[in-house]
């Protein structure tokens, strides 16, 4: 005598209709996500380097030390366009206003570039957050 584990077709439970509407959100464009993340990463690295420069200047770090010298060398071209924009306060701790202005500038440029990338690569009709 053999028994079948599968129930007969007429014994299957009946499906009841539901009032739940399930919609799936359109998949995000992976190239848009990648471009936005790469841009954000590059500008985050620049901003962190500028913050480190600001902190080193504020704490009067030894510019002859190789790491400090390297950070100053990397960030000087980023700060130069903003030098002389505001008067530099005097005193021993150097509050480098040009570095602060460059940080704000690069944050705004990063936001603008990401917005442009999203506007150009976004699909029409999609609600963008």
Is 21 a domain residue? no
Specify burial of residue 116 (Cβ count, 10 A radius: 0-12, 13-18, 19+).
Answer: exposed
Q: Contact 63/69 with Cβ under 8 angstroms?
A: yes
| Backbone torsions φ then ψ of 107, nearest 5 degrees | -65, -45
- Total domain count, the chain: 1
The answer to the question of residue 68 being in a domain is yes
* Residue located via tokens 């439970």: 13
Q: Give the model's pLDDT for residue 109.
A: 94
Can you give the pTM of this predicted structure? 0.64
Band of the pLDDT at 125, cuts 50, 70, 90?
very low
Could you list the residue range(s) of the whole structural domain that residue 84 is in? 30-121
Per residue in 67-123, pLDDT tens? 999 999 999 999 998 888 877 766 656 788 889 999 999 999 999 998 888 888 765
The DSSP secondary-structure symbol of 82 reads G
Tell me if 14 is assigned to some domain: no
Kindly state whether residue 129 falls inside one of the protein's structural domains.
no
Q: Report the sign of the C-alpha dihedral through residues 83, 81, 76, 36, in that order.
A: positive
Residue 54 lies in a domain: yes
pLDDT in tens, 21-74: 655 554 455 776 787 888 889 999 999 999 999 999 988 888 899 999 999 999
Contact 106, 46 (CB under 8 A): yes
Cβ contact 60:92 at 8 Å? yes
Cα–chain center distance at 72: 24
């Amino acid at each position: 005598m053999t028994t079948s584990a599968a129930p007969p077709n007429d014994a299957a439970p009946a499906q009841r209709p539901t009032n739940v509407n399930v919609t799936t959100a359109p998949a995000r464009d992976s190239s848009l996500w990648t471009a936005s993340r790469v841009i954000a990463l590059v500008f985050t690295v620049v901003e962190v380097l500028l913050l480190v420069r600001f902190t080193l200047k504020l704490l009067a770090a030894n510019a002859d030390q190789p790491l400090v010298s390297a950070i100053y060398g990397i960030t000087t071209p980023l700060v130069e366009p903003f030098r002389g924009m505001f008067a530099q306060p005097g005193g021993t701790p150097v509050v480098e206003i040009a570095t602060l202005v460059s940080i704000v500038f690069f944050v705004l440029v990063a936001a603008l570039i990401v917005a442009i990338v999203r506007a150009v690569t976004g699909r029409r009709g999609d609600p963008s957050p």
